Structure 1
Amino acid sequence: MRQNTTKYTLVIAAAAMLGLSACADSDSGKEGGGATGTHSPSPGAPASPTGTAPTGTAELTASVRNAIKALDTADRDVPGGQSFDLERESGAEGGPVWDVKTASNGKDQYNLTVSEDGTKVVNKRQDMTPDDDVAKLKDVQISAQEAVKLAAGRRHGEDLKSMEIDRDASGTTVWQVNTVKPGAQSGTETIIDARSGKLIGDKTSD
């Protein structure tokens, strides 16, 4: 009888050991250290990066960056400065410069020539017959700089030729931003609502 009891005890012990071993194997898969399966992210966790840049973070071309600097430089140089017209031109010495028209306190107009890199005013004079564009600035909520950035974000990799304030056929005050692909003859005019920043449309420009 004692012998049978001993055998029975050994069987119970062996079964317990097997159960413990199985649990250990199952737990090792949960920790991921020796797991070979994929791990599903918990609900609400952010997705892994895909290597593509989010919308709006594309790198601006040198001409766009310099144009924005030129607008900033002109605004600072004129009391109450608010630039409304910019164009890339050839300077007196043959190199490219930016011609910028800037309103002072919403009434006077100054015409400035700014260096290609946008950091220095080369020439400045007050225009005694201001453009009618100065009056359009009262409708503006989106600055010239912001309009350039919006257009550049839409026209990735293109260079800036010019930008100006205007009114479209419906009477809406708009920014017209002209960009061109490197080496191309014709470009694209991106039209942006100067109050809301909403894209109105694109059209081919010379």
Structure 2
Amino acid sequence: MPGKEGTQPVKAIQAAAGAVSDGRVFDVEPGNDAWEIKVASHGQEHKVRVSRDGGQVFGEQQTAKPSDDLAKVGQADVDAVKALRTAQQRQPGELDEMEIDRAADGTLVWEIGLRDGKGAEHKITVDAKTGEAR
């Protein structure tokens, strides 16, 4: 079970998704002082900045030119929070970044980078349809 710091990215993802109507997170990256989170909502892409602890949304703006990942998240049965929790069960660590993408075989997956207590980065892939770590 992740500690307090392990729940912070979950709170940030949930805050970003709640910042826009019917929001579905599809990309999470660390910024200097906040998470930079991309959220799909009704065919539009929004960039949402959320505090590192997930307690505050600093801002939200609609993107003029949505990325191709916007369509991918609409096909996913597993959301970002569930994918992150699955990855952390496989490999305990702090979230470095995550995004939805296609694996080489065409499978829709969440690609999740976790940093362990020693600073080593681990890449975990979670099937976006079944929720299984690969």
d(CA) in 1 for partners of 2:5, 2:101 = 22
Residue pairs, 1:100-115, within 5 angstroms? 100-105=37-42, 107-115=43-51
Return the alpha-carbon distance in structure 2 between the equivalents of residues 98 and 149 of structure 1: 17
Checking the alignment, whether the CA contact within 8 Å between 1:101 and 1:109 is kept in structure 2 is yes
1:146 equivalenced with 2:82 (yes/no): yes
**TM-score normalised to structure 1 length:** 0.62
Partner of 2:129: 195
Alignment root-mean-square deviation, CA: 1.2
Gaps of 5+ in 1: 1-58, 92-96, 201-206
Q: Which has the larger strand fraction? A: 2
Hey, which bits of structure 1, 4+ residues long, moved more than 4 A? none
**How far 1:183 sits from its partner (Å)?**
4.2
Q: Which residue among 17, 26, 35 is the counterpart of 1:98?
A: 35
Aligned length: 134
| Greater relative contact order, per chain length (Cα 8 Å cut-off, separation 6+) | 2
Distance 2:30 2:117 in 1: 14
Does the Cα contact within 8 Å between 1:61 and 1:159 map onto a contact in 2? no
List aligned pairs for 1:156-195, cutoff 5 A: 156=92, 158-184=93-119, 186-195=120-129
Contact 2:86–2:132 (CA under 8 A) maintained in structure 1: no
> How far apart are the structure 2 equivalents of 1:161 and 1:136?
21
Q: Structure 2 residue aligned with 1:125, among 61, 84, 88?
A: 61
TM-score normalised to the size of structure 2? Answer: 0.94
One-letter identity of the residue aligned with 2:54: G
- Residue number among 13, 16, 22 corresponding to 1:80 in the alignment: 22
**CA distance in structure 1 between the aligned counterparts of 2:79 and 2:133, rounded to whole angstroms:** 14
Q: Rg larger in 1 or in 2?
A: 1
- Report the equivalent of 1:21: none
SS of equivalent residue, structure 1 residue 176? strand
Residue 38 of structure 2 aligns to which amino acid in structure 1?
Answer: K
1:135 aligns with 2:77: no
Measure the CA separation in 2 of the matches of 1:81 and 1:177: 20
Tell me the secondary structure at the aligned position of residue 31 of structure 2: strand
Q: What CA deviation, in whole Å up to 9, does each residue of 1:115-150 have, x standing for no partner?
A: 111021112111010010001123201110000000
Give the equivalent residue in structure 2 for 1:60.
2
Amino acid in structure 1 at the alignment position of 2:40: A
